[in-house]
Structure 1
């Protein structure tokens, strides 16, 4: 694929996520020195020269990382692209999760400090296929099966996080880098079978009848379904949840439950959050099952009491659940 054609395709993919009329600053690119992110830099530079900036992060996990950051800096400087190097301090625990959290936090700080309009990463269709298969294997619900989002605005930051390459195969990105005469770095962890993602990647590679682009399309369809359910849950909240300021403790909520379970779980999460508690979807699902069976439930510092009442607005008996902050230990409710 010629760079000019590839750049035009990239520009169209980016515009679908980040229309030109909404842009208020340059596009920041997270570039590691691997073939995927180097292709992102080359495509963005060809499509929108003078409108991008590059950051490369040393996660402090491999001695080669400093050399890789230096490679990205040289390639960016040669093209007149503003460059920023970052270094993270590794923490004890889940290495990959810690690195991911630190990476996105650093990118948001970089975007804020340099006046960027958005930040893009090089996640592609093969990444999306791997993510979807891993989450299917874990029994993930719809939010997880929606995979890597093409556009996401993190709750902790104001800059959109974009993945404009989700419709691209890894081999296409490698071809872009090879045609530019650049030798990309190879992270050995990407071939280490100790990691689940690598095992899934190897399985996909051995089954050429599986199409990662179609996996990515399926993840997008699941996301659309999930967004529809969220819309319905918002409607359920406004129509079937009532605040009760006379409840013990000063505030409570009454929920007239009459929706499919997957919607009700989201509504329960909303109630728990409104009462200052925290709960996972799995915990909310267990609470729904108990309440639906007529049993009380406790989660996230909130007590939910099950009941059946005649609801005036619908004129028939239905399940009515009352949510209150859980009383302190030793108190009488």
Structure 2
């Protein structure tokens, strides 16, 4: 996907509609206890004495709290960026608010802009396209400014919402691992923090953060779920966060095992890959088969449900197709069952 990048460093000192920020000389910082807690959380994810951290700041209380905490810990190794998607009329003013907030604290801040990616396939809803634009711009900006890691403001309440949504969709281990604390160059140091804790930090620093109307827009699944969970006292958030961490560890273990099985139990012969399935459990079979498919066709589009159907067909002894890759079953008697993956013959018209 090609994304054009633009950024600007200006802010609007005359923006109306927000409570005024304190003067630079009067800026307040989070209390020492919150800063110490954050330092510990961040140190578990990065080399805290060396890291150059880019903080993604939308202007909402979660990301503003993250910025305040990160700056308190890292000082001049903390940078900020705001992506102006251009979807809402207020987005430019919100980005300008963040720019002024950063200017008052001596934090480098850039506003990133670019065109939304085109609609592609079944997952090209507006939220997905905005997410693709956001992370594409932020990843490239990291390279431009020499940042090592990108930090986002996902927190414990986001994790709860994500887990409930994925439970409703029947997700497996990978999905129920929820939002990961780290992945690639992205870190999420606030996953043990509650939304109210973060709002209190922002309020304590006398900052009126942005209210994103999409957070209460009932056209979005997450907004409806957030409302339903608002007064819930049965789901223990700390317990859910802990369970998500345990499932993330389990997912990593399954991924590691699948890599070992791919190396030991799969063999390549020209354009074909064979898998000696033995008594491998289904979940590991599924993961090894996915590796085989990607090794045959690196550009294959694999959806979870389609992959499960593909593996189940092979388990029943029948051939299966996914994209342009064909899977077939070879019974080798005492040598066991062998699954063979090859590119399907090109169909000719006429």
- Give the TM-score of the pair, scaled to structure 1: 0.90
Q: Which residue of 1 aligns with 2:182?
A: 151
1:173-188 correspondence runs (5 A):
173-188=198-213
Distance 1:62 1:281 in 2: 33
Cα offset, 1:284, TM superposition: 2.2
Q: Which residue of 2 aligns with 1:327?
A: 345
Cα offset, 1:87, TM superposition: 2.1
1:275-286 correspondence runs (5 A):
275-276=296-297, 278=300, 279-286=302-309
The reply to whether residue 47 of structure 1 matches residue 78 of structure 2 is no
Q: SS where residue 340 of structure 2 aligns?
A: strand
Cα offset, 1:19, TM superposition: 2.3
Q: Match for 2:162 among 131, 138, 141?
A: 131
Q: Which residue of 2 aligns with 1:157?
A: none
Are the aligned partners of 1:50 and 1:81 in contact in 2 as well (CA < 8 Å)? yes
Count of equivalent residues? 313
The reply to whether residue 196 of structure 1 matches residue 221 of structure 2 is yes
Q: Which residue of 2 aligns with 1:273?
A: 294
Distance 2:77 2:266 in 1: 47
Cα offset, 1:297, TM superposition: 1.0
Which has the bigger relative contact order, CA under 8 A and spacing at least 6? 2
Distance 1:233 1:151 in 2: 21
Q: Which residue of 2 aligns with 1:260?
A: 281
Q: SS where residue 123 of structure 1 aligns?
A: coil
Q: SS where residue 20 of structure 1 aligns?
A: coil
Q: Could you give the per-residue CA deviations for residues 101-136 of structure 1, whole angstroms, max 9, x where no partner exists?
A: 100000001100010111100000000110111111
Distance 1:253 1:161 in 2: 34
Provide structure 1 residue ranges, at least 5 long, that are not aligned to the other structure: 154-159, 246-250, 311-315
Cα offset, 1:67, TM superposition: 1.1
Cα offset, 1:193, TM superposition: 1.4
Q: Which residue of 2 aligns with 1:77?
A: 103
Provide structure 2 residue ranges, at least 5 long, that are not aligned to the other structure: 1-28
Distance 1:17 1:198 in 2: 29
Cα offset, 1:330, TM superposition: 4.4
Q: Match for 1:291 among 314, 320, 324?
A: 314
Distance 1:304 1:6 in 2: 54
1:84-95 correspondence runs (5 A):
84-90=110-116, 94-95=125-126
Are the aligned partners of 2:30 and 2:205 in contact in 1 as well (CA < 8 Å)? no
Cα offset, 1:36, TM superposition: 0.4
Q: Which residue of 1 aligns with 2:142?
A: 111
Are the aligned partners of 1:269 and 1:281 in contact in 2 as well (CA < 8 Å)? no
Cα offset, 1:2, TM superposition: 5.7
Cα offset, 1:283, TM superposition: 2.1
Q: SS where residue 255 of structure 1 aligns?
A: strand
- Give the TM-score of the pair, scaled to structure 2: 0.86
Q: Which residue of 1 aligns with 2:82?
A: 56
Cα offset, 1:146, TM superposition: 1.0
Q: Could you give the per-residue CA deviations for residues 148-191 of structure 1, whole angstroms, max 9, x where no partner exists?
A: 111011xxxxxx10100001000000000000001111011101
Q: Could you give the per-residue CA deviations for residues 52-96 of structure 1, whole angstroms, max 9, x where no partner exists?
A: 011011111111111111111111011110010112334565111
Q: SS where residue 147 of structure 2 aligns?
A: coil
Aligned-residue CA RMSD (Å)? 1.7
Q: Which residue of 2 aligns with 1:220?
A: 245
